[in-house]
Amino acid sequence: MKINVKAPAKINLSLDALYKRPDNYHELEMVMTTIDLADRLQLVLLEKDTIKLDVKAHFIPDDKRNLVYQAAALLKERFSVKQGVAITLDKSIPVAAGLAGGSSDAAAALKGLNQIWNLQLTLTELANLGAELGSDIPFCLYGGTALATGRGEIIKPLPMMPNCWIVLAKPSISVSTPGVYRDLRVGEVEHPNTAGMVQAIQDGSFEGICDNIGNVLETVTLAKHPEVKRIKEKMLEFGADTALMSGSGPTVFALVKQYSRAKRVYNGLRGFCEEVYLVRPWQEEK
């Protein structure tokens, strides 16, 4: 038995951190949506009790440091699975970019293994298991557009994102997510209007999304890395309807209604940045 699963990246249409909790996580409110830029996993059932992982990318671990391996090991241990699996992971999502690549790979692995090992787990059960490995994994299991609260693991699905073009640009710097949260001063920054964003999604209003877009982590990453701020400014200059950093960065995305303008933003950014993508919101039926 062999199956293929796609693992789409996500962007944050809004990201707010309300306060720091006693367990040291921030209480979050995020609206996220999956986009048409995906890693691919192939899973092959093995009768032998082993997990094999082959990653088609440089500098990404293919052992138990990889979230895909961890997802397989967790299911094996929790449900005493005696069969094995050989997984090939083909990366297209930029790594350590704020696009949840690793989390989406883990979510795709959980879904695929649920099928291949015939575990018959529900989406809620998979999301609870995923949350043990990473806060963004439950969202990646649901996909589409959703409000994520708690430390990101409590998911409320929302209607699909209205169609538009999305230009992504990832500067070649790395950002430490724990470092960004450590430097965030929740009492001193302007907070995005999450309720406004949820309403805009419910209304299918592209303009409402542009009006309510915001990421509290920009206060940290943009201040520390002027090149991220510059990319955002360039996107707006080239004609983006709005632009925002995703997650803790460093990827910045632009939303653009018109294809001709999106192309202009894409071409313009390629002069500044090595990794630039032109994509659309994820369509489930594809």
Catalytic residues: 10, 136
We find the least distance from the C-beta atom of residue 144 to ligand ATP, in angstroms, to be 17
We find the least distance from the C-beta atom of residue 30 to ligand ATP, in angstroms, to be 11
Which residue lies nearer to ligand ATP by CB, 24 or 267?
24
We find the least distance from the C-beta atom of residue 165 to ligand ATP, in angstroms, to be 21
Which residue lies nearer to ligand ATP by CB, 170 or 232?
170
Where along the sequence are the contacts to ligand ATP (CB under 6 A)? 60-61, 65-68, 95-103, 105, 136, 177, 247
Which residue lies nearer to ligand ATP by CB, 101 or 281?
101
Residue 167 structure tokens: 């230009």
We find the least distance from the C-beta atom of residue 192 to ligand ATP, in angstroms, to be 17
CB 66 within 8 Å of CB 53: yes
Which residue lies nearer to ligand ATP by CB, 2 or 65?
65
Which residue lies nearer to ligand ATP by CB, 99 or 216?
99
We find the least distance from the C-beta atom of residue 185 to ligand ATP, in angstroms, to be 20
In the bound complex, which residue of the shown chain has the CB atom lying closest to ligand ATP? 102
CA dihedral (37, 169, 28, 161) in degrees, to 10, reads: -50
CA dihedral (232, 236, 239, 242) in degrees, to 10, reads: 90
